[in-house]
Chain A
């Protein structure tokens, strides 16, 4: 699992994840992911296009981060998940709190809405 910071500004962190967000992957990125988002009090745009697998430890990481951000009036948007990753987000019910955007522009619009 890899995490790339595409942009980090006053408004949001734009992060791209790649690989499997499973028990091992969630462990590998958790600290860096949280320090860039919830601990920095910055909204997050998280590109999931290169994420090939998402299980509940990964969902829990996204959910816990989105929850911490919401407490600060911030948001998390995920971008371009693959079909099975999107199905997992939808089935888990967490999509109610973590909107899915098609592309970066839509993510920024959702963030500002």
Chain B
């Protein structure tokens, strides 16, 4: 796999749990993207995702926030998740229903629960403040929900955003 390789798998899969789901949660579209931990990989994945959001007619605000979430989470993974210089696959699953965008990130980097990151303290004099954790803080504030799990050496972060 090259540093900017994207594997795309789009369609309308049967969701795992369809029984008893309310009508508004019906899955209407789905895209699985796989890339590697590089800046080029991030840029290509973001470009694929944005094209998908536009194709599916998402409103501009939802596209903006979805892009922001993708960029923040993937930047963190690429910068901090790996102890070696090797190539690692990161997968991003996008699922659209009429009310939500769901983004599921999976990586095999070191264990990291973004929900455990404290909110950056940005209330004193600017010269005393550090912007560390800003990206995760933004994601938390803009998401409807965030769930994290670690299974078999894989971080799985599920983020849901409300559509307008």
Q: Taking beta carbons and an 8 Å cutoff, which residues of A are in contact with B?
A: 22-24, 53, 55-57, 59-60, 63-64, 66-67, 70-71, 84, 88, 91-94, 96-97
Contacts and interface: CB of A to CB of B under 8 A. Distances in A.
Interface residues of B, number: 26
A93 B122 contact: yes
Contacts, number: 70
Given A92-B138, A93-B137, A84 B129 contact: no
Nearest to A59: B134
22 contacts: A23-B43, A24-B43, A55-B68, A55-B71, A55-B135, A55-B138, A56-B72, A56-B75, A56-B134, A56-B138, A59-B131, A60-B131, A63-B129, A70-B126, A71-B127, A84-B61, A88-B68, A91-B142, A94-B122, A94-B134, A96-B126, A97-B122
Contact of B126 (A22, A66, A88): A66
Main secondary structure of the interface of B (DSSP, over half): helix
Interface-centre pick from B39, B68, B137, B142 (highest chain A CB count, 10 A): B68
Interface of B: 39, 42-43, 46, 60-61, 64, 67-68, 71-72, 75, 120, 122-123, 125-127, 129, 131, 134-135, 137-138, 141-142
Contacts of B71: 22-23, 55-57
A23 B137 contact: no
Contact of A92 (B39, B42, B43, B134): B134
A3 B67 CA distance: 22
B162 to A, nearest CB: 14
Contacts of B72: 55-56
Contacts of A60: 131, 134
